[in-house]
Amino acid sequence: MATETDYAIEVDKLTKRYGELLAVDGISFTVGKGEVFAFLGPNGAGKTTTVEIIETIRRPTSGKVILLGMDVTKKKHDIVHRIGVLPQGFSSFDRITVRETLQYYAQLYRARSADIDGLIGLVNLHDKAGEQYKNLSGGLRQRLGIAIALVNDPEIVFLDEPTTGLDPHARREVWEVLQGLKVKGTTVFLTTHYMEEAELLADTVGIISKGKIIAMGSPGQLIMDNANYQVLTLQSVDDHAFEILRKSGFEPVHANHSDIRIRVEPTDDVLKILNSIKDAGTVYHGLDVRRPNLEEVFLKLTGEALSDGSAGER
Amino acid sequence: MRGMNLRGIGANIVVKLRCFYRETTAMFFTIAFPIILILVFGTIFMSQDNVAYHLCLQDLDQTKSSVDVVKTLEEKGKFKITRVDPAVDAAQYVRDSRVNLVLVIPKGFELSLMQRMIFNNLKASVTITYIYDPSSSSVATKMEILNGVLAGINQEMSGKPPFARSVEKSILAKKYRFIEFFIPGIIAMAVMTLSLFGTVDLDTELRQKGIIRKLSTTPITRSEWILSSILYQFILAVISTIAMLLVSYAVFDVNLHIDAWLLMFILLDVFAFVGLGMILTRFAKEAQSAAAASNAISYPMMFLSGSFFPIELMPEFLQIFAKTLPLYYVNEGLRAAMVFEDNMAALRYAAIIGVFAAVVFILGIVASKWEEDQ
């Protein structure tokens, strides 16, 4: 008997072992209903393994995953009716058209009432409805994948790297679809390599590294907790300035050929820096002060940059 | 107990049929390849049914009696005779003209015949010489026919009625031609390759593309997926068989008995080789190795199980080996049903291939996995 809770997903001491390799090391977290949860981690961190256990594709070695009040290892058949999945590296039947593909998946769910035209409209594929899958570009394929994940009007949607390998324009188009889901109140579990994506869409971000959750919270909270400073960038500044700043006790780094970047903790430091440059008679042609982003938080916590590779992970 | 997801099964069959129909090269090879085999081998076998051997003959006697012998050979041995000039050396002629046999009627043939017939001189005899090229394959058959005709002539000359006569009494309701023997074998073979390669190719492709992984997150279950694969392969097998039979009837005017046994053997053939395909897909890590393993299984089966020719033509150890091959039982079962109309034999073969199909299919189900890992 399924028990309804406030959580869409509850993960408790989840472990997954492949022989000697411990891919997921006793992680626990929850995702609230209607929440957009972004799951981040470097390649090989255990991200996809975790998602695939939650999606019922893999079985855990130990621990528990409860989806909408149901245990994933015991209630798979009931769960699959209520979730939608876009697996990593999604692909479909080459010679089947967009419309036929959606009809096919709708029939698997016995979803007589599936609004195929509505879904096609939602992912903006009207012009391509009669096109075979093999003729679609990467962005169009991902949009079709998202439409498939929504064909049964699921309560939770899992999107495993939905924008990996897409150009910025196609990526933005996918984001628009995801924002639409957020407005609709669908719970979205998103794994991604793109910090910008997580910052823009997620209510909560979980960061996994070496099989363990190392940080969890809203993007703003994570930044506040882990990167409470400002970044000052001076543009087209000469080498002399670099030395002056070092002597003044700052830690400038070269951003690109003529830009330098300085981490400033109290905001007053910005003025100090500008004054010392001015006093030395050095000029700069532009400046920028900004809050750090999730990318920097991620770098600080994991010691690794999020790679933009399309390579899969276990 | 949940009911079967019939809509899902139907959707899978439709999607696969659409893919097949739109993949014109795959469709061509599936449907056209067995038909080409039937046309090629059928044409060869048809001409063998009405064969008339070519015989070179050198008549050194040039008498009325020797001419009578030539006529007898033409009529009874059904030879097309080419006369060789008595002046040439027959052995040289065989070498030069690339013929494989010259029959030489010696000089004095009529004289010896007269002595035997009129004076009853038992010492009077003639020697008919076959000058031949032993490397030619048809020469032995020709000599056998010639010996038969000559034995008939000797028997007639003895003036006594033969003691042992032979009567041909076929156990079959009708006489069948080689093409009729051949077609059930081609049907069995075509259904085997279709099911085996179809399963291996499609399953490895869908697995590599991650479609199987996606399907495992939908309500379709593994057994419903397997059932839809079986039904899809069965539909293709029936379409392919109908095409083969239509061509066989239209071009070769074959006389085959078609009843429920045909469908039964197609179904068992499909089950056995889809099951085998599922096992191969599971254990072969790469698509190429799965394809190589299917080749390694299907080729010996194609050539050694009696699809193309009767296994009786093979050495005994190969005949024993042939009987270990599942396709042999489909071949023989289909022939029992379609050619010999022997229901008991068909039942026997169906039982054997049925047990094999059940075992392989269950192993295939156990072997194929929905989940990605152990």
This model of the complex carries an ipTM of 0.81
Interface touch B22/A80, C-beta < 8 Å: no
Degrees, nearest 5: CA angle A265-A268-A274: 105
Q: To probe the interface with B, which of A57, A79, A82, A142 has the most B CB atoms within 10 Å?
A: A57
Per CATH, the homologous superfamily of domain B53-158 is abc type-2 transporter like domain (3.40.1710.10)
* Subunit contact B218:A105, Cβ cutoff 8 A: yes
Q: Report the residue of chain A nearest B213, measured CA to CA.
A: A57
Residues present in chain A in total: 314
Fold that domain A228-291 belongs to in CATH: Alpha-Beta Plaits (3.30.70)
- The full set of domain ranges for chain B reads 6-47+175-367, 53-158
- Give the pairing of strands A286-290 and A230-235: antiparallel
Distance of CA A195 to the CA centre of its chain: 7
Cα nearest neighbour of B222 on chain A = A77
Query: Which chain A residue is nearest to residue B372, measuring alpha carbons?
Result: A58
**Segments making up each domain of chain A, as ranges:** 7-224, 228-291
> Which residues in chain A have their CB less than 8 angstroms from residue B5's CB?
108, 110
Compute the count of residue pairs across chains A and B with CB atoms less than 8 Å apart.
77
Hey, are the CB atoms on B19 and A94 less than 8 Å from each other?
yes
Neighbours of A212 (CB within 10 A): 15
Q: Are A87 and B215 inside 8 Å of each other by CB?
A: no
Record the pTM: 0.76
Range 105-164 of A in CB contact (< 8 A) with B = 105, 107-110, 132, 148
Q: Residues in chain B, how many?
A: 374
Q: Which CATH number fits domain A7-224: 3.30.43.10, 2.40.30.110, 3.40.50.300, 3.40.50.620?
A: 3.40.50.300
Mutate to test the interface with B, among A108, A113, A152, A160 (most CBs of B within 10 A): A108
Cα–Cα distance measured from residue A27 to residue A54, given in angstroms and rounded to the nearest whole number: 12
Residue B267 backbone dihedrals phi, psi, to 5 degrees: -65, -45
Angle (CA) B59 B65 B70, round 5°: 50
Kindly report the number of other CB atoms within 10 A of residue A56's CB atom: 22
Q: Which of B290, B236, B245, B166 is nearest to B21 (CA)?
A: B236
- The answer to whether the CB atoms of A18 and B373 lie below 8 A apart is yes
For residue A83, list chain B residues with Cβ-Cβ distance below 8 A.
217
The confidence score (pLDDT) of residue B372 equals 52
The alpha-carbon gap from A124 to the nearest alpha carbon of chain B, in Å, equals 22
Q: How far is CA B208 from the centre of its chain?
A: 37
Contact A87/B213, CB-based, under 8 Å?
yes
Residues pairing with B58 in the sheet: B104
Query: Over its length of 374 residues, how does chain B's per-residue pLDDT go in tens digits?
Result: 467 888 899 999 999 999 988 988 888 888 888 899 889 888 887 766 556 678 899 999 999 988 988 888 888 777 888 899 999 998 888 888 888 889 999 999 999 988 888 888 888 888 889 988 888 777 888 888 888 888 888 888 777 777 887 777 766 555 677 888 889 999 999 999 999 998 888 888 888 888 988 998 999 988 888 889 999 999 999 999 999 999 999 998 888 999 999 999 999 999 999 999 888 887 776 767 888 888 898 888 888 998 888 888 888 899 999 999 999 999 999 999 998 888 999 999 999 999 999 999 888 888 876 655 44
Q: How many helices (H) and strands (E) does chain B have?
A: 15, 4
**On the CB side of B100, how many CA atoms lie within 13 Å of its CA?**
12
Look at B338 and A265; give whichever has higher pLDDT: B338
